[in-house]
Amino acid sequence: MWVYLNNKFLQDDKAHLSIFNRGFLYGDGIFETIRIYNGHPAFLNRHLKRLQQSCQLLDLNLPIPEPKWDSLLRELATLNEQGHTLIRITISRGVGSLGPHLTGCTTPTIVIFTRPLPQFTKEQQEQGVTLTIVNTRRQPSSAIPAQIKSLNYLNNILAKQEAMKSHAFDGLMLNINGHIAECTTSNIFFVKNQRLHTPSLQCGILPGITREIVMELAQAEGIVVQEGTYPPKDLLDADECFLTNTGFGVLPVSKIDSKQLKSGKQGTETQIIQLLYESHIAKSC
């Protein structure tokens, strides 16, 4: 597999990082995942905006000028002969002194590689996946700002471990106030009385690109969208539920813990949102 490492395209077995890289030692860095659709980076401007914002919050310089990103990502997808794939961009502070101080950190490290799109069974696509509400809480923005898509992913990993032990597809995290936040790699929506609900950014969630697009598409379709703070009971009483992220787009949820949602399968509103999103991504690329 071809990867991009610090201004060079290399085969993955030739790409090496220093053991003193702060991304490895401290999770001191950021990442972004972009979907390649028919060879085109989907919603690139939105992803670059979030990437730039994450860099600014960590006081990092974005190593590649904005005009070069499109051709770079296309070239990487072409080298790997992948017209439909995901591309992960990882930027760390690079090599510097040991410890929390930033002495000697002058050159960020950038790694870009492709990864397969997630695959789902026909049953998961049609009936939905299962979630479990985990004990691991979403860390508050006062600890690590939610806008930063940080390499420090231990919070999400612990939540995923809980979900796996419960034989669920994913874990749903609450925030420290006990309100619904997000899953380990996705935002969550639920439908009640034909109204679309999702946790607000004030709940400490990552401002997902797909979440943002889904809200825009729903509102353009005349679907009422409400952001708010919701206790788990509101979700368990919902008619429908679905997840959103760059990799799978819109994915229905059928069951949360032992509670089957009212639809018990992919609901009507979820189907509408799914079709709107897939049509939009196709037109955008």
> Which pLDDT tens digit goes with each residue over 59-77?
998 889 999 999 999 999 9
Q: In which region does residue 222 sit, left (phi positive, over 0), alpha (psi from -120 to 50) or beta (all else)?
A: left
Same fold for the pair 2-115 and 122-284: no
Fold of 122-284: D-amino Acid Aminotransferase; Chain A, domain 2 (3.20.10)
The domain ranges of the chain are 2-115, 122-284
Burial 38-76 (b: 16+ CB within 10 A, else e): eebbbbbeebbebbebbbeebebebebeeeebeebbeeb
The C-alpha atoms of residue 36 and residue 176 are separated, in whole angstroms, by 35
Task: Inform me whether the pLDDT recorded for 118 exceeds 70.
Answer: yes
Band of residue 264 on the pLDDT scale cut at 50, 70, 90: low
**From start to end of the chain, where are the E strands?**
2-5, 8-11, 29-37, 40-41, 85-92, 109-115, 129-133, 170-174, 180-183, 187-192, 195-199, 225-228, 240-245, 249-256, 259-260
> What was the pLDDT predicted at 265?
62
> What was the pLDDT predicted at 102?
82
Residue with tokens 């929390």: 100
Residue with tokens 């990867």: 3
| Cβ partners under 8 Å of residue 48, min gap 6 | 66, 69
The C-alpha atoms of residue 104 and residue 206 are separated, in whole angstroms, by 30
Among 199, 208, 196, residue whose Cα is nearest residue 177: 199
pTM value > 0.85: yes
* Average pLDDT in the chain: 94
- Considering the segment(s) 2-115 as one domain, its CATH architecture is 2-Layer Sandwich (3.30)
